[in-house]
Amino acid sequence: MSRIRGPFYSAIAVVLLTACGSNSTTSEVATSTARGTLIQNPPLRIASLDAAALTAQLNASASGQQLLELAQAPTCGVDFYYIQYWTVGGANETATATGALMVPTGSAAQCSGPRPIVLYAHGTTTLKTYNIADITNPSNTEGALVAAMFAAQGYIVVAPNYAGYDTSSLSYHPFLNGAQQSKDMIDALTAARTALPQTLSAATTDSGKLFITGYSEGGYVAMATHKALQAANQTVTASAPMSGPYALAAFFDAVFYGDVNIGSTEFTPLITTSYQKAYGNIYSATTDIYEPTYATGIDTLLPSTTPIDTLFEDGKLPETALFSSTTPVTGNATLDAALAVPKNPIFALGFGASNLITNDYRLSYVLDAVAHPDGAAPVPMPGVPLAASPQNTLRIAAKLNDMRTWVPHVPVLLCGGDMDPTVYFTLNAGTMQAFWAAAGLPAEVVTILDVNAAPTAQDPFAAVKVGFQETEAQIVSSQGQVAAVESYHTTVAPFCTAAARGFFSQF
Amino acid sequence: MSMTKKAAAASALLALSLSIAHADDGVPSNTVRVGLYYVHYHTSADDISGPYVPTGLNLSVNDVETLYLAYVRRLSEHFDLELAAGYPPVTKTEGRGPATLGSVPYNGQVISTARWFAPTLLLNYKFFDESHAWRPYFGIGVNYANFYDRRSTAAGNAASGGPTSISLPVSVGPAATVGMSYHLQGRWSLYASYSATVVKSKLTADTAGVMRTSDINFGPRALVVAAGYAF
């Protein structure tokens, strides 16, 4: 053995001496948990599509072809980044959240250099795994919409998934919590601005212009974010909230009176969980609000990894019956009539035998609305004020999150469709317009766009209106009136988004 | 084979070789060899899996040439113990699959590099006796492969979506060789051999905390041409 040792170890030494070096590293992970901190810097680029590849991807589906027709052919390519950031939950608890940063790329002038940012808020989804950044997922239609409409035309897009979705550390979603959701949006924007110079698309930079938009829940969130940024003296160039429940307290009252919206059995658990987490006083037990059939586990039901149709099939939620078709009888004929099953067949869909909310809770809510009426529903009052002193805790929460608490300083477009059975356009956008008018806001600051209205002379939105109405007519003729009603809220979205882009292009 | 079993096999090989060694018969006991390795990889890998990875993404490893260094201990007239180690070559991994990922080139792009420190310990059996100039031999042994200086290239970072760190755990696997030696004159000989080694590892790429993996069997086949000096 001793004779081996010398040359043996010499040979080992030769090869060992060469066995040193360093490995490549990935992104840095932030140690701070402060709001707006980008967790992985640089962030992951999920996909990079040049204009031709993006066009090809959209052309691969019928919905993509329709979108291309509306959005026009991409001028820019788009890099899709997945951002992870620190924000807070509804009770101000520290939480992580994720979202998208879409960066225009390419040689055309509007695809690099200083570009405006569109801060986008997505609509309600019950699917917990939702990730708007994942453009490789064919079901990510809203991601494709904002990519085609904004990023492919030279806007940097920042779109949070919201706390409670995707890989967020928050166990629930602070649905329609204006304070939290505006913070989430602002934190996503801060993180995206940190990320942008470090990305593979660093030739595109932030011009400083900021546009805010979003659809449905996102329309509400867009307005709440505009309000919060304005209050913080941060730059907002313009905003275009779309089809959102801005006059939240009036909207809730309308639903409890009987104007039940499509989707209410999904929205209601999201709302009560959100406000219970934030304020702690919505219920002592879920049976205070919900029928025993559904009460157990409803506070953790949504968002879910299980598709909503499966939840319906499994009896976790009723599909449409928010209230009992055997309505409360109080002896007050006027009130009993108000609580009766509506004649409007769409509202009547919200009533059934296997209902979600108890008659007792509905009645207590409506009695509070009668005693402390909202100024916009059921009967509009001058100035459409909020209820003075509601006592029902859900009505108090709705008042706290209602948007009738601010007046914008920069131009706002409120777009929607007046026949929307999911988020009532006139009750929400019309109430905000009336509120702002009463507050003395010059009319030219706010543009109300009803895509279902007839185009007027010199109408800048004539093409959007005509396009929407032709599409609706096609749906009615090919799929029937019921399908057209059920899809109305979704059908409005791309047309309002096109209108928002046109609106932003003025600035 | 587990790492424990592989270590046991290496120990058994050493024990066997020591038992074969016997008294000095006047023939030099030590030889150093220097030559060239021509390494060809018969790579087979699982498609890369993980978040945001389209189907059908695979890998291959480019062939390399590198300096061959070996120390050979003569155990008996017919047995040698060979410790072979090439100068750690930079191996380049290419993407295999779609031409592009979105608009990012993939197929045929060098997406990562790594150096291999991969010594092999072989127990060789030589035919004929010392008087023969030409002596064929074969050997079996154990290979240890440590992958270091692991780097994702610019093309790899573009395909992965950002700066990427790569993990490739150590591989220990069996090795076999067949060869021929030719005694030139005095202490000098020439050698040629062909070796096959089992080198398996699990590639894990970390891009901004997102992990993508692939189990790889590198399947290296090495042709060696070398000169040796006995002392």
The arithmetic mean of pLDDT across residues B12-16, rounded, is: 54
Q: Are residues B85 and A14, on separate chains, in Cβ contact within 8 Å?
A: yes
ipTM comes to: 0.88
Q: Are residues B163 and A42, on separate chains, in Cβ contact within 8 Å?
A: yes
Q: Please list the residues that pair with A115 across neighbouring strands.
A: A206
Segments in A298-392 forming alpha helices (H): 308-313, 333-339, 345-348, 359-371
User: Between vectors from CA B101 to CA B95 and to CA B107, what angle results, nearest 5°?
Assistant: 25
- Tell me which residue in A3, A16, A27 faces B162 most closely, judged by beta carbons: A27
Sorted by sequence, the CB contacts under 8 Å of residue A498 that are 6+ apart come out as A70, A71, A149, A464, A467
Check pLDDT > 60 for residue B4.
no
Query: Which residue in chain A is spatially nearest to B210 when comparing CA positions?
Result: A44
Q: Are residues B206 and A16, on separate chains, in Cβ contact within 8 Å?
A: no
Measure B96 CA to nearest chain A CA, in Å: 18
Question: pLDDT-derived band of residue B25, with 50, 70 and 90 as boundaries?
Answer: low
Q: With a cut of 50, which residues of chain A have pLDDT below it?
A: 1-20
Predicted local confidence at residue A1, as pLDDT: 38
The arithmetic mean of pLDDT across residues B131-155, rounded, is: 97
Query: Which residue in chain B is spatially nearest to A11 when comparing CA positions?
Result: B71
Contacts of B163 in chain A (CB under 8 A): 24-27, 42
Q: Are residues A23 and B148, on separate chains, in Cβ contact within 8 Å?
A: yes
Best residue of A23, A105, A167 to probe chain B, by most B CBs closer than 10 Å: A23
Measure A266 CA to nearest chain B CA, in Å: 29
pLDDT in tens, B86-105: 899 999 999 999 999 999 99
Predicted local confidence at residue A389, as pLDDT: 97
Q: Quick one: tokens of A260?
A: 């039940």
Predicted local confidence at residue B13, as pLDDT: 53
Q: Are residues B207 and A200, on separate chains, in Cβ contact within 8 Å?
A: no
Q: What backbone torsions phi and psi does residue A209 show, to the nearest 5 degrees?
A: -75, 135
Q: Please list the residues that pair with B126 across neighbouring strands.
A: B137
Measure A105 CA to nearest chain B CA, in Å: 11
The arithmetic mean of pLDDT across residues B171-184, rounded, is: 98
Cα A207 from chain centroid (whole Å): 25
How far separated are the first and last CA of chain A, in Å rounded? 84
On whether the CB atoms of residues B120 and B197 are closer than 8 A, the answer is: yes
Helix (H, G, I), strand (E, B) or coil at B164: strand
Dist. CA B31–CA B18, nearest whole Å: 17
Closest CA to A394 of A175, A126, A220: A175
Q: Are residues B148 and A18, on separate chains, in Cβ contact within 8 Å?
A: no
Query: Which residue in chain B is spatially nearest to A14 when comparing CA positions?
Result: B87
Query: Which residue in chain B is spatially nearest to A41 when comparing CA positions?
Result: B208
Predicted local confidence at residue A21, as pLDDT: 58
Predicted local confidence at residue A219, as pLDDT: 98
Dist. CA A374–CA A385, nearest whole Å: 7
In what helix (H) or strand (E) does residue A373 lie, and over which residues does it extend?
none
Measure A492 CA to nearest chain B CA, in Å: 30
Q: Are residues A21 and B104, on separate chains, in Cβ contact within 8 Å?
A: no
User: What mean pLDDT value characterizes chain B?
Assistant: 92
Predicted local confidence at residue A13, as pLDDT: 44
Question: pLDDT-derived band of residue B45, with 50, 70 and 90 as boundaries?
Answer: very high
**Does residue B92 belong to the interface with chain A, where contact is any CB pair within 8 Å?**
no
**Does residue A166 belong to the interface with chain B, where contact is any CB pair within 8 Å?**
no
Predicted local confidence at residue B26, as pLDDT: 75
Q: Are residues A8 and B208, on separate chains, in Cβ contact within 8 Å?
A: no
Contacts of B67 in chain A (CB under 8 A): none
Closest CA to B203 of B172, B168, B170: B168
Best residue of A25, A29, A41, A44 to probe chain B, by most B CBs closer than 10 Å: A44
